[in-house]
Homo-oligomer: A and B are copies of this chain.
Amino acid sequence: MMDRKNGQTAAKDTTRDGASERVVAELALAIHEHRLQPGAKLSEDEVGAIYGVSRTVVRAALQQLSHDRLVELRRNRGAYVAQPSVREAREVFEARALLEPRTARSAAERVTEADIVALRRHIADEHAALDRGEPGRALHLSGLFHIEIARIANQATIEDFIRQLIARSSLIIALYWQRRTAMCESHAHDALLNALASGNGDLAEDLMKSHLLDLLSSLDLRNVNSAPRTLQEALGG
């Protein structure tokens, strides 16, 4: 293990200390991009070996992720990528419906030229990822679009909540997405962007609301398998 650590030291020297933050970021990204599937076990030794840190650091990272509900900690049994239940899925979108439309309105009232440019960039990246056949990355970028809007609204507290909700949404989509509908949401993002650019708060609020409803309705939340999936299913897939 020491060898591996030394092998990664070169790449780590930018991160000086606070090694757990890097692990948090890497794991969160892997979950967001669906490289880690819901239910996957995150063994402390294994994760530590991969990133060249001790279990102490890994534990801190896992605890942090568990607070965002990306990871579920079971006492004496380890950490697993969370598997939101159908009920949790509904709750998350309920909360988003409560927070995001109003936030979009605030954003429309405060948005600057630079913000618009950044948002256009996000959308372009999203399309590019889709064209490259990286739906996981596209989904991640789609989430960042929402977070960017929250940032523009300039309410750090609400932004944090939205960030958590979007992270969980990523897991929910991994579990409950039904392929039927194509990934058409980029259209919704375009419309939102236009509303923001024109400073139309009413429209932005409405568009966000219906966008979230669309998203929710594209999920299959009939509680067919509301029970947590077994590890075997996750590993076999």
Contact = CB atoms under 8 A, between A and B. Distances in A.
Contacts of A17: 75-76
Interface string A144-166: 00000000000111100100010
Interface in A89-142: 91-92, 94-95, 98-99, 102
A67 B24 CA distance: 13
Copies in the complex: 2
15 contacts: A17-B75, A17-B76, A67-B67, A88-B156, A91-B156, A91-B157, A94-B157, A95-B155, A95-B158, A95-B161, A98-B98, A98-B99, A98-B102, A98-B158, A157-B165
A216 to B, nearest CB: 14
Interface residues of A, number: 24
A157 B63 contact: no
Nearest to A87: B156
A212 interface: no
Contacts of A165: 157
